Structure 1
Amino acid sequence: MQKLTNKEEEVMKMLWKLERAFVKDILAEFGADKPHYNTLSTIIRNLEEKEYVGHVAYGNTHQYYPVVRKEDYRKKFIHNAIADYFNHSYKGLISFFAEEEKISASELREIIREIENKK
């Protein structure tokens, strides 16, 4: 699975949400910072070349759909981020969030309970 650019990832998030869409449908999902239609079309074709997206042709128009599931992409992204930034340490990841005050002690205790209940 190839790495996506930020714009490609943004488009994939929209396509995962829409499930099936024409370029104009994806364009409508953008806020004020809409790319040009041709730019978006190029991004989608790049996603297709990277095998993230497939399409169904209706004459000259294509309806696009995700080939890669959001969950599969998320797993790969998280594993890569942990490997790259936390030396393969999930403990390091959790410590980072605790130090940055992004997770509280009570949330950590809740996570521990959930882990223990799964065993």
Structure 2
Amino acid sequence: MKELTKAEEQVMKILWKIEKGFVHDIIEKMPNPKPAYNTVSTIVRILVKKGFVGYEAFGKTHQYHPLVDKDKYSKFFLSNFIGGYFGGSFQNMVSFFAKENDMDVNELDELLSKVKQNLKDQND
């Protein structure tokens, strides 16, 4: 899997949310100022080539849908992020963000409790 550019990620986030749509549907969900139709169409075609997006043809127009699950891409992205910036260590990443956000021991305990609960919920 390849990492997405910011523009590609923006389009994918919209497609993950709407599940399927035409280029004009994607543009409608974008913030102002809205990009040109041809710009978004080009980004979508790149996503098709990268294997992130599939489509169904309706004459000369196409309805697009995600082929890559949001969770799957999130895991891939985070793995690359942690590997690239924190030597692959989740502990180093958490330590960095705790220090940067001036988290105290109580906040770290609360975070740990949430993580434990999420893991428990996953295994149930």
TM-score calculated relative to the size of structure 2: 0.88
Gaps of 5+ in 1: none
Shift of 1:5: 0.8
Q: C-alpha root-mean-square deviation of aligned residues, in Å? A: 1.8
Kindly provide the CA deviation profile for residues 69-118 of structure 1, in whole angstroms up to 9, marking residues without a partner as x.
Answer: 00000000000000000001111110111111175533321232345563
**What is aligned with 2:101?**
101
**What is aligned with 2:4?**
4
C-alpha distance in structure 1 between counterparts of 2:21 and 2:84, whole Å: 34
Tell me, yes or no, if structure 1 residue 25 matches structure 2 residue 34: no
Q: What number of residue pairs does the alignment pair up?
A: 119
Change (3 A) 1:9 1:109: same
Tell me, what secondary structure is at the counterpart of 2:55?
strand
TM-score calculated relative to the size of structure 1: 0.91
Identity %: 46
Runs ≥4 in structure 1, deviation > 4 angstroms? 114-117
Tell me, yes or no, if structure 1 residue 14 matches structure 2 residue 14: yes
Tell me, yes or no, if structure 1 residue 92 matches structure 2 residue 56: no
